[in-house]
Amino acid sequence: IRDFLIAPSILSADFARLGEEVDNVLASGADIVHFDVMDNHYVPNLTIGPMVCEALRKHGVTAPIDAHLMVKPVDRLIGDFIDAGATYITFHPEASDHIDRSLQLIRDGGCKAGLVFNPATPLSFLDHVMDKVDMILLMSVNPGFGGQAFLPGTLDKLRAARQRIDASGRAIRLEIDGGVKVDNIAEIAAAGADTFVAGSAIFKAANAADPHRYDSVLRDF
Ligand code: DX5
Ligand code: ZN
């Protein structure tokens, strides 16, 4: 049996009260903080960077922070996120000129490294780096925005990624990101995912006036 982790994407949180939002989802049972970094170049949106990651650590967040870099180039920001206290650092292979080097940079910095696959990016990017990957993140939407619908073709890709992980014999996490909801998470888990990013399903579902606003949402997950 696999251990399942829930990773709320703070992309859908209230950025004006970010520390409180993160405290609340963690207190309600979330496992990992999914931290979406967008640069208005690799993806058509602009979000948060290493200073905000560092601010969450200073605020007292001790849970793993899963920095999903949707930026190009990636290497300089990798160093900044290592210094800012990220736990996982994942990047898109198309955004790195030297995939092996970027993975090595992350691991040399003491962080866990991952590759992210857009819906049309083939898993063959894993062929020669499987021993340097701690996480595989499959995008089930095209990256850039929260609140999009889960692309069903991702289920077959999850099964293929799960086979690669099992064949490697390594404890690589298989994360899914985009359109994950309470009503499709069981099917996604059955296809092989063990780490579930959910943004709008968690942060938009809650009543902002309720101090325990994320309890019932996370219980459903
Ligand atoms: C999209 C981001 C996701 C996004 C998911 O580019 O990587 O993490 O926040 O949002 P939902 O869960 O709303 O699809
Ligand atoms: Zn993400």
220, amino acid identity: D
> Which residue of 10, 12, 70 sits with most ligand 1 atoms within 8 Å of its CB, as the best mutation to test the pocket?
12
DSSP 140: S
Per-residue model confidence (pLDDT) at position 62: 98
- 170, two tokens: 């390594």
> What is the length of the chain?
221
- Our CA angle for 144, 148, 150, nearest 5°, is 115
DSSP 47: -
The residue range of the domain holding 24 is: 5-220
Task: Yes or no: say if 37 and 49 are a contact pair by the CB < 8 Å rule.
Answer: yes
- Would the pTM count as exceeding 0.90? yes
> Which residue of 43, 70, 141 sits with most ligand 1 atoms within 8 Å of its CB, as the best mutation to test the pocket?
141
Tally of domains within the chain: 1
98 annotated among ligand-binding-site residues: no
Using only the alpha carbons of the chain, give its radius of gyration.
16
199 touches ligand 1 (CB under 6 Å): yes
31 annotated among ligand-binding-site residues: no
215 annotated among ligand-binding-site residues: no
148 touches ligand 1 (CB under 6 Å): yes
93 touches ligand 1 (CB under 6 Å): no
Cα distance from N-terminal residue to C-terminal residue, the chain:
17
Burial class from Cβ neighbours inside 10 Å (0-12, 13-18, 19+) for residue 104 reads: middle
Task: Yes or no: say if 88 and 134 are a contact pair by the CB < 8 Å rule.
Answer: yes
- Our CA angle for 115, 74, 50, nearest 5°, is 100
**pLDDT by residue for the chain (221 residues), tens digit each?**
569 999 999 999 999 999 999 999 999 999 999 999 999 999 999 999 999 999 999 999 999 999 999 999 999 999 999 999 999 999 999 999 999 999 999 999 999 999 999 999 999 999 999 999 999 999 999 999 999 999 999 999 999 999 999 999 999 999 999 999 999 999 999 999 999 999 999 999 877 778 788 898 899 89
CA of 207 to the centre of ligand 1 (A): 20
In angstroms, the CA 157 to CA 39 distance is: 27
- 163, two tokens: 């086979």
Q: Catalytic site residues? A: 36, 177
CATH number at residue 96: 3.20.20.70
CA dihedral 137, 79, 26, 165 (to 10 degrees): 30
Q: Whose CA is nearest to atom 10 of ligand 1?
A: 146
169 annotated among ligand-binding-site residues: no
85 touches ligand 1 (CB under 6 Å): no
Of the ligands numbered here, which is closest to the C-alpha atom of 182? 1
